[in-house]
Chain A
Amino acid sequence: MESFVAQLIVGLATGGIYALLVLGMNLLVLVRNIVHHSYSHIVVLTMAMGWLTLTHTNGSIPLAVIVMLISAIIFTIATEPLFRPLSVRGADLETVTLAMGIGIIITEFISKYINGGANFAFPDAMTGRQNTISIGLISFSMANIVVLVGCAAAAAILMWFLFKSKEGRAIRAMAQNLRVAKMLGIPFGRTGVLGFGIAGLLAGFIAILCVMTLGAGSPSLGDTFAVKAIILMLFAGMGNMKGGLFSALFMGVVEAMALAYLPGRWTEAVFYGVIMLVIIWKPNGLFGNKH
Chain B
Amino acid sequence: MLSSSMTLYLIFCCAFIILVWGALVPFRAGLLYNGTVYCMAVGGYFAAFAAKDLGWPFWLCILGAAVVGAILGFLPALGFSRTSGIVTAVASMALIFIIQSVIRNLDFLGGTRGIRGIPKIEHLLLYSVILVVVLGAFLYRLNHSKLGRALEAIGTDPDMATTLGINVKVMTVFSLTISSIFGAVSGAVYAFNMRTIYPETFGFSLLLSVMTMLFVGGRYTQWGVFISVPLLWGLPQWVPASINSFTQIIYGVILVVILMARPEGIITRELPGRIQHLFARSKEKGAGTV
B83 interfacial contact with A, CB 8 Å: yes
Q: Is B91's CB under 8 angstroms from A276's CB?
A: yes
Which residues of chain A have C-beta atoms less than 8 A from B246's C-beta? Answer: 108, 112
Q: Restricting to A235-263, which residues have a CB under 8 Å from any CB of B?
A: 238
B170 interfacial contact with A, CB 8 Å: no
Q: Is B260's CB under 8 angstroms from A85's CB?
A: yes
Q: Mark B67-92, 1 if CB is under 8 A from A, else 0.
A: 00000000010011011111101110
Q: Restricting to A68-115, which residues have a CB under 8 Å from any CB of B?
A: 82, 85-86, 89, 91-94, 96-98, 100-105, 107-109, 112
Instruction: Kindly provide the distance from the CB of B101 to the nearest chain A CB, expressed in whole angstroms.
Output: 4
Q: Mark A216-237, 1 if CB is under 8 A from B, else 0.
A: 0000000100010011001000
- Docked complex Cα distance between A266 and B102 (Å): 8
B32 interfacial contact with A, CB 8 Å: yes
Q: Is A100's CB under 8 angstroms from B208's CB?
A: yes
- Docked complex Cα distance between A86 and B264 (Å): 12
B211 interfacial contact with A, CB 8 Å: yes
- Docked complex Cα distance between A257 and B256 (Å): 39
Chain A interface residue bracket vs B: 35 or more
Q: Is A86's CB under 8 angstroms from B263's CB?
A: yes
Q: Is B83's CB under 8 angstroms from A266's CB?
A: no
B140 interfacial contact with A, CB 8 Å: no
Which residues of chain A have C-beta atoms less than 8 A from B82's C-beta? Answer: 280, 283
Which chain A residue has the least Cβ–Cβ distance from B259? A98
B15 interfacial contact with A, CB 8 Å: no
A273 interfacial contact with B, CB 8 Å: yes
B248 interfacial contact with A, CB 8 Å: yes
Q: Is B85's CB under 8 angstroms from A275's CB?
A: no
Instruction: Kindly provide the distance from the CB of B243 to the nearest chain A CB, expressed in whole angstroms.
Output: 11
Which residues of chain B have C-beta atoms less than 8 A from A231's C-beta? Answer: 90, 93-94
Which residues of chain B have C-beta atoms less than 8 A from A269's C-beta? Answer: 97-98, 101-102, 105
Q: Is B249's CB under 8 angstroms from A105's CB?
A: yes
Which residues of chain A have C-beta atoms less than 8 A from B105's C-beta? Answer: 265-266, 269
Which chain B residue has the least Cβ–Cβ distance from A283? B83
Q: Mark A265-280, 1 if CB is under 8 A from B, else 0.
A: 1101100110111011
Instruction: Kindly provide the distance from the CB of A239 to the nearest chain B CB, expressed in whole angstroms.
Output: 12
Question: Contacts A93-B85, A98-B259: A104 and B208 contacting too (C-beta < 8 A)?
Answer: yes
Instruction: Kindly provide the distance from the CB of B87 to the nearest chain A CB, expressed in whole angstroms.
Output: 5
Query: Quick one: which of A103, A230, A234, A276 has the most chain B CB within 10 A?
Result: A276
B180 interfacial contact with A, CB 8 Å: no
Q: Is B252's CB under 8 angstroms from A104's CB?
A: yes
Question: Contacts A93-B86, A279-B83: A272 and B255 contacting too (C-beta < 8 A)?
Answer: no
Q: Is A94's CB under 8 angstroms from B263's CB?
A: yes
Q: Mark B98-127, 1 if CB is under 8 A from A, else 0.
A: 100110010000000000000000000000
* Partner pick for B90 among A91, A109, A223, A234, CB 8 A cutoff: A234
Q: Is A104's CB under 8 angstroms from B87's CB?
A: no
Q: Is B91's CB under 8 angstroms from A82's CB?
A: no
A45 interfacial contact with B, CB 8 Å: no
B253 interfacial contact with A, CB 8 Å: yes
Q: Is B95's CB under 8 angstroms from A276's CB?
A: yes
Which residues of chain A have C-beta atoms less than 8 A from B263's C-beta? Answer: 86, 89, 91, 94
B58 interfacial contact with A, CB 8 Å: no
Question: Contacts A104-B208, A276-B98: A96 and B89 contacting too (C-beta < 8 A)?
Answer: yes
Instruction: Kindly provide the distance from the CB of B235 to the nearest chain A CB, expressed in whole angstroms.
Output: 14
* Partner pick for A268 among B30, B87, B101, B245, CB 8 A cutoff: B101
Q: Is B249's CB under 8 angstroms from A108's CB?
A: yes
Q: Is A101's CB under 8 angstroms from B94's CB?
A: no
Name 13 interchain pairs, CB-CB below 8 A, sorted by A.
A35-B86, A93-B30, A96-B89, A98-B255, A98-B256, A101-B256, A102-B252, A112-B249, A269-B98, A272-B98, A276-B76, A279-B83, A280-B80
9 A-B pairs besides A86-B259, A283-B84 with CB distance below 8 A are: A108-B248, A108-B249, A227-B97, A231-B94, A234-B87, A268-B101, A272-B101, A273-B94, A279-B83
Q: A residues near B, CB below 8 A?
A: 35, 82, 85-86, 89, 91-94, 96-98, 100-105, 107-109, 112, 223, 227, 230-231, 234, 238, 265-266, 268-269, 272-273, 275-277, 279-280, 283
The 4 A-B residue pairs with the shortest CB-CB distance in the complex, in nearest-first order: A101-B255, A104-B252, A105-B252, A269-B101
